[in-house]
């Protein structure tokens, strides 16, 4: 069973155990549909949860009964001091009562330990569970919901005939011949799946960053530069746990810094989520709403990317280090599905403006990470690669991360005249919902631009119009 240790900076998560037990079939379905390798272990823990919860309640009842007896004896001892005229009788009675009190205190300690052990076991089980799955998620294959700048009539069945591989547009050959990328030198310096970018390719990265940040700020996102290192408990609280080998505990995504409790972030989502750990947002009728809070973070991202990758081992498609602009939202629970669609539409608009052809997909349960309740991916057509490739993703994580980060909000439900809690107003403390989305995964968009806008006749790559102002109004390179 997955067990996590918390640093002094991050409180232990608060799980709604009754809610989990009340929806135990939903969690069983989530475990099954995600096709996790430790499916049996998770299912067994889930089945044991009701028994543990009943034991926990029984222990609490025992403790309450012990406390009643203790208070009764303590009261007798207090009264006995007031009637010391019968010294012999009182001395004998007090001696017996004190022994009983000592035994009851010992029983209380033992039962309290049983309560804490049961609580820890229940928390470990709940902490290991993935999120529930949205009812619209497909079972095993993604469902295309939208097309962006399609090369075909989407109403017809012969869609795939429009997408034919073109080896002349391979981004590795194009950028290497132009001297704009060097994979060989990077392999010698850092290892495979690293790269150097030069001149226009490096400028293109900066242009994409500035474009994405500008668009995000125009949509109400505050810009930030978050840390690229996080404590492992924060990384785990975000839901970054190995999918390839969960049972062994090996981290297949995260670079763990030796002899520390820290790791390199796989995405700014991790340190953005950690920004509001242990925080309570206050909502009232008289103050400006603190939710939703929307941040746009630029960071370097680091991924070990273990496992067989085939053709993805070459070029910019799957690398160990890359720049990424990430979007993150904290919101009220009832608003998270609306924000998910808003993030998806934001991503679609940028891909459309860049002139790239892509499809938007509602992702199946077996492709969801542990925190995701629902996820949309956008895959751009890459002719040199000869297939569509994921360039952005957006997920609704509901309260999965906020429970583990202890990020809540207090809502004053009032009559509209007074935001302070009183007899007519109720104060509700809830966990926020969190969402994340890719604003710009730089290497893959560079790859898509090069492979889609390279002209084999002129041997030039056209720069998308929205990026030209960030590249000295250059139109080609």
Q: Is 320 annotated as a binding residue?
A: yes
Q: In which element (H, E) is residue 412 found?
A: strand 408-413
Q: What is the DSSP string of 74-105?
A: HHHHHHHTT-TTSHHHHHHHHHHHHHHHHHHH
CA 16 to chain centre: 19
Torsion of CA 340, 345, 347, 352, to 10 degrees: 170
Q: Is 65 annotated as a binding residue?
A: no
d(CA 51, CA 56): 9
Ramachandran category for residue 149: left, alpha or beta (phi over 0 → left; psi -120 to 50 → alpha): left
Q: Is 326 annotated as a binding residue?
A: yes
Q: Is 267 annotated as a binding residue?
A: yes
Q: Is 33 annotated as a binding residue?
A: no
Q: Is 436 annotated as a binding residue?
A: yes
Alpha helices in 300-386 (DSSP H): 336-353
Q: Is 336 annotated as a binding residue?
A: no
d(CA 56, CA 422): 34
CA separation, residue 357 to residues 210, 442, 444 (Å): 22, 17, 13
Determine the angle formed by the axes of helices 199-218 and 442-453, rounding to 10 degrees: 110
Tokens 């981290």 sit on residue: 251
Q: Is 391 annotated as a binding residue?
A: yes
- Residues at the binding site are 267, 303-305, 319-322, 326, 390-393, 436
Binding-site residues for L-serine sit at 267, 303, 326, 436
Annotated binding residues for ATP, as ranges? 303-305, 319-322, 390-393
């Amino acid at each position: 069973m997955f067990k996590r240790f918390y640093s002094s900076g991050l409180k232990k998560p608060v799980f709604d155990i009754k809610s989990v037990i009340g929806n135990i079939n939903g969690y069983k379905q989530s475990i099954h549909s995600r096709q996790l390798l430790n499916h049996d272990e998770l299912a067994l823990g889930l089945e044991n949860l009701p028994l543990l919860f009943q034991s926990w309640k029984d222990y609490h009842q025992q403790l309450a009964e012990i406390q009643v007896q203790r208070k009764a004896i303590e009261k007798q001892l207090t009264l006995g001091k007031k009637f010391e005229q019968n010294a012999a009788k009182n001395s004998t009675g007090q001696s017996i009562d004190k022994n009983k009190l000592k035994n009851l205190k010992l029983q209380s300690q033992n039962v309290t330990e049983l309560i804490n052990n049961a609580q820890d076991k229940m928390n470990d089980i709940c902490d290991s569970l993935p999120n529930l799955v949205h009812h619209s998620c497909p079972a095993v294959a993604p469902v295309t919901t939208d097309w962006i700048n399609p090369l075909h009539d989407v109403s017809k069945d012969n869609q795939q005939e429009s997408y034919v591989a073109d080896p002349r547009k391979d981004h590795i050959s194009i950028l290497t011949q132009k001297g704009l990328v060097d994979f060989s030198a990077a392999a010698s310096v850092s290892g495979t799946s690293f790269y150097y970018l030069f001149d226009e390719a490096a400028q293109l990265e900066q242009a994409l960053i500035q474009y994405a940040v500008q668009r995000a700020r125009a949509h109400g996102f505050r810009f930030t530069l978050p840390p690229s290192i996080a404590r492992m408990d924060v990384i785990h609280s975000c839901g970054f746990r190995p999918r390839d080998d969960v049972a062994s505990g090996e981290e297949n995504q995260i670079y763990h810094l030796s002899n520390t409790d820290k790791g390199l972030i796989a995405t700014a989502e991790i340190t953005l989520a950690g920004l509001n750990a242990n925080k309570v947002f206050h909502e009232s009728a008289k103050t400006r709403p603190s939710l939703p809070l929307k941040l746009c973070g630029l960071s370097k991202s680091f991924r070990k990317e273990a496992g067989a990758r085939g053709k993805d081992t070459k070029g910019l498609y799957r690398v160990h280090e890359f720049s990424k602009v990430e979007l993150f939202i904290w919101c009220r629970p009832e608003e998270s599905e609306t924000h998910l669609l808003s993030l998806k539409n934001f991503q679609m608009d940028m891909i459309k403006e860049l002139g790239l052809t892509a499809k938007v997909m509602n992702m199946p349960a077996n492709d969801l990470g542990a925190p995701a309740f629902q996820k949309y991916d956008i895959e751009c057509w890459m002719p040199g690669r000869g297939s569509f490739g994921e360039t952005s993703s957006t997920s609704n994580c509901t309260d999965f991360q906020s429970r583990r980060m202890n990020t809540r909000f207090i809502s004053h439900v009032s009559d509209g005249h007074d935001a302070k809690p009183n007899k007519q107003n109720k104060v509700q403390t809830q966990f926020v919902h969190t969402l994340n989305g890719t604003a710009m995964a730089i290497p893959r968009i560079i790859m898509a631009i090069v492979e889609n806008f390279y002209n084999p006749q002129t041997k030039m790559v056209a720069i998308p119009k929205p990026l030209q102002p960030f590249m000295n109004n250059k139109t080609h390179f």
